[in-house]
Amino acid sequence: MSDAFLTNLTFYVLSFCVIAGGIFVVSSRNLFHSAVFLVFTLFSVAGIFVMQHAYFLAAIQVLIYVGAVAMLMIFGVMLTTQLTNVRLRHVNEQAWPAFAVCLFFLGFLVYGLWDTPFKISQAAAPAEVTRAIGTLLMTEYVLPFEVVSVLLLVALIGAVVIAKKE
Amino acid sequence: MVSEFTAVAVFLLVGTGIVLFTFGLAKVIRPSAPHPVKLETYECGETPLGTAEIQYNVRFYIYALLFVIFDVEVVFLFPWALVYRSLGFFAFVEMLIFIAILVFGLFYAWKKGVLKWF
Amino acid sequence: MLELRGLIDAIWGLISGLLSGLGFSPNLISLIGYAIIAAVLFGVVALIVLFLVWWERKVSAHMQDRLGPMRVGWHGVIQTIADALKLLQKEDITPKAIDFPIHFWAPVITFVAAFMVYVTVPFGKGLIVSDLSVGILYIIAITTFTVIGLLMAGWGSNNKYSLLGGFRSAAQVISYEVPLTLALLGVIMIAQTLSLGAIVTQQDTIFKWYVWRQPLGFAIFWIAATAECNRTPFDLPEADSELVAGFVTEYSGMKFAMFFLAEFVNMFTASVIAVTLFFGGWMSPFGPDFGPSWLWFLGKTLFFVFVLMWFRWTYPRLRVDQLMGFAWKVLLPLAFLNILLTGIGIYIFD
């Protein structure tokens, strides 16, 4: 049970969870099941973040994606009724050409990613990750930070407008 | 390799395991006497009318939307709160602008009557 | 005297020595160690919750000028264990119309999420399982899983009352989650750290408790936490006269027990966070070395749980529109105000 073995095992298990969850999200016939599998997928992604020592990112992944976004989707699914027995009739006359195109893209992506030298930063990870993020947000990235608040405001106003139209 | 979150993973697995074990134990111990009446959905003792859907109520969705927006805002506030003391007054002003924009949004939602339950 | 850390270290020394003697690798030994701690902590939390259930019945009874459970054991102490055993062997009546996987996993998710908070709770001096560097953020993130479990329970039961109850509970929990998090931010601004162990260590003496520096923050946090736990005056989703039993209508036996226990675990978690962040955690009022730390911790948290129970029999229940209005129109602006004041205060006094 060496370090490398444990790291690899954890990574493969988490990746399997992410991919399997994703497949079940799109292939499930029951929309609510899809939403719950989405939660599972996002939680596994948070696990992968933890493996990369990005603890802050993992925590806010769970907080925002699972706690807010996925929950919003579940609300949406629950509020639009008659979902449990939706028989999604897949009209798939072009199934085989589609499959061929997907395989081609898969090969293309794998070929492209295989030989790409990803630049991994040699700088050591900061000891206090969250604090480093905070400093960066306040100094280098102030403008995107304020723009985000405007973006959120736009989203809020949009939500209010849609609500009033109902 | 043992990082801080190893305990979290172990807790997750052990917790789920113990809960499932308790369910299994209960399944072994408890009686099982299914009867058609018992298998009906509960509606205060009457036979259920209609399906289990409720009327579309947009206000639940609005609350969820508001929650998403303010949750994202809170997430931005966390790193700021950590470094607040070491940065200067400028950081405070930046965050003030950030919060002010969103409080304005909340006020707007309030005035538009979106926050009313009924 | 009575310091648990030394005892735990000794026992663990024996076990790990035995395991490494048997040839287990160090990683496996630490994993097994964590598993043992998880199981033990599960037992401890379960015991605390069992005690709390009995205590709730006793406190409620005495506040209503009656006696409560008296027969099973001395003054009914074993009552909860008897109830747990009863629930264990109750028939699991689930209607045909339920969505079985969702209905099954909802209580599991709710309880496990409630339990996983305790990884990073400092029970005493040196008694944290893992002092996460993102402690508070982790706790807040994990407690959002409770909402998912709630919604799954409401939907999976395929019952109008469960669905509506689930919706209302979820809406209530998420509405109060934002002010709760914002109130905690005030403490984080002062403490400059997210880790719970560090925050406790900073509150050496009673004068350094953060409640004195964050009274508004504590008030907001405590009210929001009461709402998060679905306790009176915010317990409309669970009130017996409303919506049957809310989202647990179609649950019986052990699954119902899991929801019920999860609620008490959440109550205890709320008290734990209040004590750790605002009242010095396991620190005695005179410093870290004055008596057994876990005893101080337990005493303080049980006091706050008592306050929660006290609320239940003091305040009338809020109507659902008052509930939601209060969260968005009162608590949220107050929480922002608290952050503003804290920011100004830190700037002035530093």
How far is CA C109 from each of CA A36, B15, B61, C104, C113, rounded to the nearest angstrom? 11, 10, 23, 9, 6
| Cβ–Cβ contact C22 with B under 8 A | no
ipTM of the complex: 0.87
Query: Which residues on C lie below 8 Å from A55 (Cβ)?
Result: 132-134, 138
| Cβ–Cβ contact A85 with B under 8 A | no
The alpha carbon of residue B70 is apart from the nearest alpha carbon of chain C, in Å, by 7
Q: Is C69 within 8 Å of C54 (Cβ atoms)? A: yes
Q: Show which subunits contact B, needing at least 3 CB pairs below 8 angstroms.
A: A, C
Query: Which residues on B lie below 8 Å from A72 (Cβ)?
Result: 61, 64-65, 67-68
Q: Is C178 within 8 Å of A64 (Cβ atoms)? A: no
What letter would DSSP give residue B63? H
pLDDT of residue B41: 63
Residue of C nearest to B44 (CA): C244
pLDDT of residue C222: 94
Single-letter residue type at A135: T
Q: How far is it between the farthest Cα atoms of chain B? A: 71
Residue of B nearest to C139 (CA): B8
Checking if the pLDDT of B112 tops 90, the result is: no
3-state SS, C53-82, equals HHHHHHHHHHHCCCCCCCCCCHHHCCHHHH
Checking if the pLDDT of A95 tops 60, the result is: yes
Residue ranges of domains in chain C = 97-349
The alpha carbon of residue A108 is apart from the nearest alpha carbon of chain B, in Å, by 35
Q: Cα(A81)–Cα(A77) distance, rounded to whole angstroms?
A: 7
Tell me the per-residue pLDDT of A98-123, one tens digit each, with 9 for 90 and over. 889 999 999 999 988 888 887 877 77
CB under 8 Å to B30, separation ≥6 — which residues? C88, C89, C90, C91, C92, C253
Tell me the per-residue pLDDT of C75-131, one tens digit each, with 9 for 90 and over. 777 888 888 888 777 777 777 777 788 889 999 999 999 999 999 999 988 888 888
pLDDT of residue C239: 64
Residue ranges of domains in chain B = 6-111
Checking if the pLDDT of B49 tops 80, the result is: no
Give C146's strand partners: none
CA torsion, points B62, B79, A150, A65, in degrees to nearest 10? -40
Residue of A nearest to C167 (CA): A75
Q: Is B42 within 8 Å of C249 (Cβ atoms)? A: yes
| Cβ–Cβ contact C116 with B under 8 A | yes
Length of chain A: 166
What value, to the nearest 5°, has the Cα angle with vertex A113 and ends A107 and A119?
175
Tell me the per-residue pLDDT of B4-40, one tens digit each, with 9 for 90 and over. 888 899 999 999 999 999 888 888 887 777 777 666 6
Residues 134-163 of C with CB under 8 A from A: 134, 137-138, 140-142, 144-145, 147-148, 151-152, 154-155, 158, 163
Q: Is B39 within 8 Å of A93 (Cβ atoms)? A: no
The alpha carbon of residue B36 is apart from the nearest alpha carbon of chain C, in Å, by 9
- Burial class of residue C180 (count of CB atoms within 10 Å of its CB; 0-12, 13-18, 19+): buried
Q: Pick A81's closest partner by Cβ from B53, B58, B68.
A: B53
- Asked, as a colleague might, if the bond just before C292 is cis with ω within 30 of 0, I would say no
Q: Cα(B47)–Cα(B70) distance, rounded to whole angstroms?
A: 42
pLDDT beneath 50: ranges in chain C = 1
Checking if the pLDDT of B58 tops 90, the result is: no
- Using the beta-carbon criterion (under 8 Å), do B60 and C167 form an inter-chain contact? yes
Question: Is the CATH number of domain B6-111 1.20.58.1610?
Answer: yes
Confidence of residue A83 (pLDDT cuts 50, 70, 90): very low
Residue of A nearest to C188 (CA): A131
Positive or negative: CA dihedral C242, C247, C253, C254: negative
Q: Pick B112's closest partner by Cβ from A58, A64, A160.
A: A160
Q: Which of C304, C4, C284, C16 shows the shortest CA–CA distance to C128?
A: C4
Beta strands in chain C (DSSP E): none
| Cβ–Cβ contact C115 with B under 8 A | yes
- Using the beta-carbon criterion (under 8 Å), do C90 and B30 form an inter-chain contact? yes
Q: Cα(A163)–Cα(B116) distance, rounded to whole angstroms?
A: 12
- Using the beta-carbon criterion (under 8 Å), do C92 and B39 form an inter-chain contact? no
Residue of C nearest to A71 (CA): C148
Cα–chain center distance at C191: 22
What letter would DSSP give residue C250? T
- Using the beta-carbon criterion (under 8 Å), do B19 and C112 form an inter-chain contact? yes
Q: Is C335 within 8 Å of C182 (Cβ atoms)? A: yes
| Cβ–Cβ contact C137 with B under 8 A | yes
| Cβ–Cβ contact C320 with B under 8 A | yes
B-C contacts at Cβ under 8 angstroms: 197
Q: Cα(C78)–Cα(C71) distance, rounded to whole angstroms?
A: 9
Tokens representing B86 are: 């070491």
Q: Is A46 within 8 Å of A62 (Cβ atoms)? A: yes
| Cβ–Cβ contact B35 with C under 8 A | no
- Using the beta-carbon criterion (under 8 Å), do B26 and C254 form an inter-chain contact? yes
pLDDT of residue C273: 94
Query: Which residues on A lie below 8 Å from B58 (Cβ)?
Result: 79, 163, 166
pLDDT of residue B50: 55
Residue of C nearest to B113 (CA): C325
What value, to the nearest 5°, has the Cα angle with vertex C179 and ends B78 and B65?
90
CB under 8 Å to C178, separation ≥6 — which residues? B67, B70, B71, B74, C327, C332, C335
Residue of C nearest to B102 (CA): C336
- Using the beta-carbon criterion (under 8 Å), do B9 and A56 form an inter-chain contact? no
Q: Is C144 within 8 Å of A64 (Cβ atoms)? A: no
Checking if the pLDDT of A90 tops 80, the result is: no
Residue of C nearest to B107 (CA): C329
- Using the beta-carbon criterion (under 8 Å), do C102 and A3 form an inter-chain contact? no
Q: Which long-range contacts (CB under 8 A, 24 or more apart) does C81-84 make?
A: C81/C50, C83/C53, C84/C50, C84/C257
Greater confidence (C128 vs A84) lies with C128
- Using the beta-carbon criterion (under 8 Å), do C181 and B38 form an inter-chain contact? no
